[in-house]
A and B are shown apart, each in its own frame.
Chain A
Amino acid sequence: MGPEVDTPAASTAPAPARTAPRARSRALRSAGASLRSLLRTRETSIIGALLVSILAASLIVEGFATGRNAGFLILDVTAIALIALPMTLVVITGEIDLSVASTLGLTSAVMGQLWVAGLPLELIVPLCLVLGSLLGALNGVLVTVAGLPSLAVTIGSMAMYRGLAYVVLGDRAVADFPFSWTGGATARLPGTDIPWIAVLIAVLAAVFGAVLHATPVGRALYAVGNNAEATRFSGISVRWTKLWLFVLSGTVAAGAGVFWTLQYGSARADNAFALELSVVAAVLLGGVSIFGGRGALPGVLAGVLLLGVIRNALMLADVSSDVLDIVTGLLLVASVVVPTTLARVRERRPRAAPPS
């Protein structure tokens, strides 16, 4: 046993010794580079999976590859796509917001109640967005000022916001919104099948992507997720960063709530029930690490679309929607279990001989 232990230990010893004298910043930079390359492969694989699934669906499923259907697909994933944008940033900083779907539901309920009360939609919509910001700010304050784990906080606020939605509207539905608004929500760009909301999503995604990947703010988010302590020393306010992200998350969820209400022409307290699961699934599927510090927006968009394509194709192919739950679950589990297990296997291989 003894000599076997010694040989691999002796062979691995020089490697750290060689890297030790290097400047720490350079080591960090190379770690960043390898991280980025890992990221690139994760992203490439999810985008590849998206393209393959689109191609397969176009070939196999009749009626999939039509402009009309593409329009429906986009409308179907709109809420998830919108909420996934800020969620990506939140998860990259190592936090999570499970209250988004409840925020959407509460916004919808308030929107319905205000409409019943006779307010004009021009006023209701901004009020709803402000409400979303406040709901997000409450989460943010509990996380940053009180120092509570966001998972616990947002499980609590998820229950509370959904409960408040029922308090506001009960189990009633408000459906008499003017057609100019409900029809406008699902309107297509003139002469095409593309819903105008797709343009908004694209613009927002570009803005979020640019901020995340090309500005100091974006780099700060990764830094916060990788090592909050070190980031604090480098002069970035981790608290303010996270607080604003939660406000952003709440605001966008409220915006999605307004759109949802108009799209389906119905304000209900149970709108988008459990949608947070789909959002988190899409974000993680897109390669964002639940531990924070890793992930990219293109991957997340591909994740959103992949779930949408699979759902749409299965429905067109008359496969029961129940299978979708199984597929979603399998994808989610595989997307976290497979890479981490592979990494562990790879990590273990050099150390296989010596008992730890």
Chain B
Amino acid sequence: MSGTDETGASAPTSAPPAAGAPAGHGSGEHRGDGRARLRIPQARELGILLALVLLVAVTTLASPGFLSGQSVRDLLLGATLLAILAVGQSMVLITRNVDLSVGSVMGLSAFAVGMTFVSFPGLPTPVVMLVGVLVGTLCGVVNGVLVAAARVPALVVTLGTLYMFRGIDYWWAGGRQINAADMPDGFLGLSRVTVLGVPLPAVAAAAVVVAAGWYLRNYRSGRELYAVGSEPAAARLIGIPVDRRVFAPFVVNGSLAGLAGVVYASRFGTLDATVGTGMELEVVAAAVVGGVAIFGGSGTVYGAALGALLLSTIDAALPMLNVDAFWQQAVVGLLILVSIGLDRLLAVRTARRLRGGGPRGA
């Protein structure tokens, strides 16, 4: 349906997308707002990087073993899952939606990987990994269809699918547990493979981050995700196929959650129906801490990945600093609140600056 809307509207709106383009490419020299919008995320990412460096420095001073090769590898491996999930979640958040079902999707696809190994022992490992990703993609399609079709807040839809996917996982598992012995050594060893000293999953996560970042920045459809998240009604008016731009990130996010499930299965080797329970909170937290606004339209996947790295580092650093591990979640919660507050502060300041710069044509 939106396809006809789009084609019907695209002819008279060749001008508005052109007007939106400078903000998108950040090249229009007379567009102060475009540049301001690009500068703020950079400031946010710098802040997180600074916090990260500070945290690592303090922890290393307190406990010199923190920066040893093995613990850095462990840290990267720990951040991998969260970073992959945070990248997908960011793309959804940018369109002013949210996917609360990622924990369930990751659990379901992890279990699917294990079950495929058990049921079809002859299958080559890459095929099984593909199955895991496809299970995630399918869940993403379900979410995307429901959100785009009904145009109800994704919060409600994905709250529902969070239950559904988890329920299917439990029903399928039926109390069963899959152990490392059920999976081939080659698959389980993937986490221990290193590329120039960096664990393979971390390399994969980095590739995902860079690819998503590249797409969001350099492709028109990627930039349009920001337009949709900033003002859906306006995006629709200038001819952006909003429903499709909302749908796609859900599918991508589902695939990435599926990939995270594969990584989880490979790394931990023990799978039951509880895998990934409550993970959605941590994922949203990583994205929000990384400067992705929960109300859409701003943020980068680099920030989200940094947020994931920061949260994982806090996780690893607290015991080193002899801080009770129970503080971790409270710190995460506080970080979310501080990040949203900071975001709001920056937005208010930008709005004031823009208003001071004189009225802008509608």
Contacts and interface: CB of A to CB of B under 8 A. Distances in A.
Interface of A: 96, 142, 146-149, 151-153, 155-164, 166-167, 170-171, 269, 273-274, 277, 280-281, 284, 290-291, 320-333, 336-337, 340-341, 344, 348, 355-356
Contacts of A330: 160, 164
A155 B163 contact: no
Contacts of A323: 167, 171
Contact of A336 (B98, B150, B170, B171): B150
B331 interface: yes
With most chain B CB atoms within 10 A of its CB, the pick from A280, A329, A332 is A329
A153 B341 CA distance: 9
Contacts of B332: 159-160, 163
Main secondary structure of the interface of A (DSSP, over half): helix
Interface in B143-178: 146, 149-153, 155-157, 159-168, 170-171, 174
B330 A166 contact: yes
Contact of B341 (A146, A155, A336): A146
5 contacts: A152-B288, A164-B330, A166-B326, A322-B174, A325-B170
B295 interface: yes
B327 interface: yes
B127 interface: no
B39 to A, nearest CB: 22
B328 interface: yes
Interface residues of B, number: 51
Interface in B295-321: 295
A90 B4 CA distance: 39
- The 9 lowest CB-CB distance pairs between A and B, nearest first, are A160-B333, A163-B330, A325-B167, A163-B329, A329-B163, A159-B333, A329-B164, A322-B170, A156-B336
A336 B326 contact: no
B160 A281 contact: yes
Given A152-B295, A160-B337, A166-B330, A341 B150 contact: yes
Nearest to A96: B155
B281 interface: yes
Nearest to B164: A329
A164 B329 CA distance: 8
Interface string B327-349: 11111111011001100100000
B324 interface: yes
A328 B163 CA distance: 7
A159 B329 contact: yes
Given A155-B294, A167-B327, A290-B152, A329 B167 contact: yes
Contacts of B281: 155, 158-159
Majority SS at the chain B contact face: helix
B8 interface: yes
A284 B336 CA distance: 26
A328 B4 CA distance: 35
B278 interface: yes
A10 B230 CA distance: 35
B175 to A, nearest CB: 9
A273 B281 CA distance: 12
B330 A167 contact: yes
Contacts of A284: 156
Contacts of A158: 281, 333
A355 B272 CA distance: 51
B164 A333 contact: yes
B263 interface: no
B155 A290 contact: yes
Given A155-B284, A157-B333, A323-B167, A277 B162 contact: yes
B164 A163 contact: no
Contacts of B294: 149, 151-152, 155
Contact of A162 (B8, B170, B333): B333
Contact of A290 (B8, B153, B327, B340): B153
A356 B8 CA distance: 7
B341 to A, nearest CB: 6
B331 A163 contact: yes
Contacts of A274: 278
B74 interface: no
Given A325-B170, A330-B164, A337 B152 contact: yes
B346 to A, nearest CB: 13
B209 interface: no
A322 B150 contact: no
Contacts of A321: 170
B340 A153 contact: yes
B5 interface: yes
B171 A326 contact: yes
Contacts of B167: 322-329
A167 B333 CA distance: 13
Nearest to A284: B156
Contacts of A324: 167
Contact of B295 (A149, A166, A291, A327): A149
B163 A160 contact: no
B327 A340 contact: no
A104 B295 CA distance: 27
Interface in B6-54: 8-9
A60 to B, nearest CB: 21
A329 B340 contact: no
Interface string B232-270: 000000000000000000000000000000000000000
A63 B119 CA distance: 39
A340 B152 contact: yes
Interface in B168-211: 168, 170-171, 174
B87 interface: no
Given A156-B340, A160-B337, A336 B329 contact: no
A148 to B, nearest CB: 5
A149 B1 CA distance: 32
A316 to B, nearest CB: 18
B176 to A, nearest CB: 12
Given A156-B333, A291-B153, 19 more contacts: A142-B341, A148-B340, A156-B288, A156-B336, A158-B333, A159-B332, A159-B336, A160-B333, A163-B326, A277-B162, A280-B159, A322-B170, A322-B171, A328-B163, A330-B164, A336-B150, A336-B160, A344-B151, A356-B9
